[in-house]
A = this chain, B = another copy of it.
Amino acid sequence: MTEKIALTPKTHTAPPAKFSHGVKKGNILQVAGQVGFLPAVEGQPPTPAGPTLREQTLQTLANVKAILEEGGASWEDVMMIRVYLTDVAHFAEMNEIYNAYFEAQGLTQPPAARTTVYVGLPAGLLIEIDALAVLG
Protein backbone atom coordinates (compact mmCIF):
# COMPACT_ATOMS: atom_id res chain seq x y z
CA MET A 1 0.00 0.00 0.00
CA THR A 2 1.26 3.44 -0.93
CA GLU A 3 1.48 5.83 1.98
CA LYS A 4 -0.35 9.15 1.99
CA ILE A 5 2.00 11.80 3.35
CA ALA A 6 0.91 15.10 4.89
CA LEU A 7 2.87 18.12 3.65
CA THR A 8 3.20 20.75 6.37
CA PRO A 9 5.77 23.48 5.71
CA LYS A 10 7.21 25.08 8.86
CA THR A 11 6.03 28.44 7.56
CA HIS A 12 2.41 27.40 7.74
CA THR A 13 -0.09 27.96 10.51
CA ALA A 14 -2.06 24.92 11.65
CA PRO A 15 -5.08 24.33 9.40
CA PRO A 16 -8.30 25.61 11.02
CA ALA A 17 -9.78 22.10 10.73
CA LYS A 18 -8.86 18.45 10.28
CA PHE A 19 -7.29 18.78 6.84
CA SER A 20 -3.75 18.81 5.49
CA HIS A 21 -2.12 21.77 3.72
CA GLY A 22 -0.99 19.23 1.17
CA VAL A 23 -0.88 15.49 0.68
CA LYS A 24 1.22 13.23 -1.53
CA LYS A 25 0.48 9.66 -2.47
CA GLY A 26 2.46 7.92 -5.16
CA ASN A 27 3.00 10.47 -7.92
CA ILE A 28 -0.03 12.63 -7.06
CA LEU A 29 0.35 15.75 -4.93
CA GLN A 30 -2.60 17.89 -3.93
CA VAL A 31 -2.21 21.34 -2.38
CA ALA A 32 -5.13 22.56 -0.25
CA GLY A 33 -6.63 25.99 -0.81
CA GLN A 34 -4.01 28.55 0.21
CA VAL A 35 -4.60 32.17 1.07
CA GLY A 36 -2.27 35.11 1.59
CA PHE A 37 -1.29 34.43 5.20
CA LEU A 38 2.24 35.37 6.23
CA PRO A 39 4.53 32.69 7.67
CA ALA A 40 3.18 31.54 11.01
CA VAL A 41 4.33 33.27 14.20
CA GLU A 42 3.76 31.22 17.33
CA GLY A 43 1.05 32.61 19.54
CA GLN A 44 -0.29 34.89 16.81
CA PRO A 45 -3.38 34.34 14.67
CA PRO A 46 -2.92 33.95 10.88
CA THR A 47 -2.25 37.36 9.33
CA PRO A 48 -2.69 38.27 5.65
CA ALA A 49 0.39 39.67 3.91
CA GLY A 50 -1.58 42.86 3.35
CA PRO A 51 -4.86 44.26 2.14
CA THR A 52 -3.94 44.44 -1.56
CA LEU A 53 -4.47 41.87 -4.28
CA ARG A 54 -0.76 42.05 -5.13
CA GLU A 55 0.41 41.27 -1.61
CA GLN A 56 -2.10 38.48 -1.15
CA THR A 57 -1.51 36.89 -4.57
CA LEU A 58 2.25 36.76 -4.15
CA GLN A 59 1.98 35.39 -0.61
CA THR A 60 -0.59 32.81 -1.72
CA LEU A 61 1.68 31.64 -4.54
CA ALA A 62 4.58 31.43 -2.09
CA ASN A 63 2.43 29.34 0.25
CA VAL A 64 1.48 26.93 -2.56
CA LYS A 65 5.13 26.68 -3.58
CA ALA A 66 6.23 25.87 -0.02
CA ILE A 67 3.85 22.90 0.04
CA LEU A 68 5.01 21.68 -3.37
CA GLU A 69 8.61 21.84 -2.19
CA GLU A 70 7.76 20.08 1.07
CA GLY A 71 6.62 17.21 -1.16
CA GLY A 72 9.72 17.26 -3.36
CA ALA A 73 7.83 18.89 -6.20
CA SER A 74 7.94 22.27 -7.92
CA TRP A 75 5.79 24.46 -10.16
CA GLU A 76 7.10 22.36 -13.07
CA ASP A 77 5.00 19.44 -11.81
CA VAL A 78 1.75 21.37 -11.42
CA MET A 79 -1.05 20.33 -13.76
CA MET A 80 -3.88 22.51 -12.50
CA ILE A 81 -4.14 25.75 -10.59
CA ARG A 82 -7.52 26.87 -9.31
CA VAL A 83 -7.77 30.57 -8.63
CA TYR A 84 -10.67 31.88 -6.56
CA LEU A 85 -11.15 35.62 -6.66
CA THR A 86 -13.84 37.63 -4.95
CA ASP A 87 -14.25 40.25 -7.65
CA VAL A 88 -14.31 40.00 -11.46
CA ALA A 89 -12.67 43.43 -11.54
CA HIS A 90 -9.50 41.83 -10.11
CA PHE A 91 -8.97 39.49 -13.07
CA ALA A 92 -6.65 41.70 -15.14
CA GLU A 93 -4.48 42.69 -12.20
CA MET A 94 -4.27 39.11 -10.95
CA ASN A 95 -3.15 37.98 -14.40
CA GLU A 96 -0.42 40.62 -14.48
CA ILE A 97 0.89 39.53 -11.10
CA TYR A 98 0.50 35.84 -12.03
CA ASN A 99 2.36 36.25 -15.32
CA ALA A 100 5.23 38.20 -13.79
CA TYR A 101 5.52 35.66 -10.97
CA PHE A 102 5.69 32.68 -13.30
CA GLU A 103 8.07 34.42 -15.71
CA ALA A 104 10.39 34.95 -12.78
CA GLN A 105 10.22 31.23 -11.89
CA GLY A 106 11.99 30.43 -15.18
CA LEU A 107 10.06 27.21 -15.79
CA THR A 108 11.16 24.92 -18.61
CA GLN A 109 7.92 22.91 -18.81
CA PRO A 110 4.61 24.39 -20.02
CA PRO A 111 2.51 26.27 -17.49
CA ALA A 112 -0.30 24.50 -15.63
CA ALA A 113 -3.91 24.62 -16.77
CA ARG A 114 -6.02 27.03 -14.76
CA THR A 115 -9.60 27.83 -13.84
CA THR A 116 -10.53 31.20 -12.35
CA VAL A 117 -13.92 31.77 -10.78
CA TYR A 118 -15.41 34.44 -8.53
CA VAL A 119 -16.68 33.29 -5.15
CA GLY A 120 -17.11 34.44 -1.60
CA LEU A 121 -14.11 34.23 0.73
CA PRO A 122 -13.71 35.07 4.43
CA ALA A 123 -13.59 38.80 5.13
CA GLY A 124 -10.32 40.45 4.14
CA LEU A 125 -9.21 37.68 1.78
CA LEU A 126 -9.17 38.52 -1.93
CA ILE A 127 -7.70 35.34 -3.39
CA GLU A 128 -7.42 31.61 -2.71
CA ILE A 129 -5.43 29.13 -4.81
CA ASP A 130 -5.13 25.35 -4.82
CA ALA A 131 -3.08 23.08 -7.06
CA LEU A 132 -2.81 19.52 -8.34
CA ALA A 133 0.61 18.18 -9.30
CA VAL A 134 1.80 14.98 -10.94
CA LEU A 135 5.37 14.12 -10.02
CA GLY A 136 8.07 12.14 -11.74
**Chain A interface (Cβ < 8 Å from any Cβ of B):** 1-6, 15-23, 25-28, 30-33, 76-77, 79-82, 84, 88, 91, 95, 98-99, 102-103, 109-123, 128, 130, 132, 134, 136
User: Considering the chains assembled together, what is the distance between the CA atoms of A51 and B21 in angstroms?
Assistant: 31
With both beta carbons as reference points, the residue of chain B lying nearest to A2 in the complex is identified as: B136
Q: With A and B bound together, what is the CA distance between A9 and B44 in angstroms?
A: 45
A115 in contact with B95 (CB, 8 Å): no
By the criterion CB–CB under 8 Å, are A110 and B26 in contact? no
Asked if A30 meets B82 with Cβ closer than 8 Å, knowing A20-B112, A117-B128, the reply is no
Between A19, A21, A109, A118, the greatest number of chain B beta carbons within 10 A of the residue's beta carbon is seen for: A19
A99's contact among B6, B18, B114, by CB below 8 Å, is which? B18
Q: In the assembled complex, how far is the CB of residue A74 from the closest CB belonging to chain B, in whole angstroms?
A: 11
Do B99 and A115 touch across chains, with their CB atoms under 8 A apart?
Answer: no
- Which of chain B's residues have a CB closer than 8 A to the CB of A18? 98-99, 102-103, 111
The reply to whether B115 and A118 contact each other, CB–CB distance below 8 Å, is no
A-B pairs, 5 with minimum CB distance = A118-B120, A33-B115, A6-B110, A32-B113, A19-B114
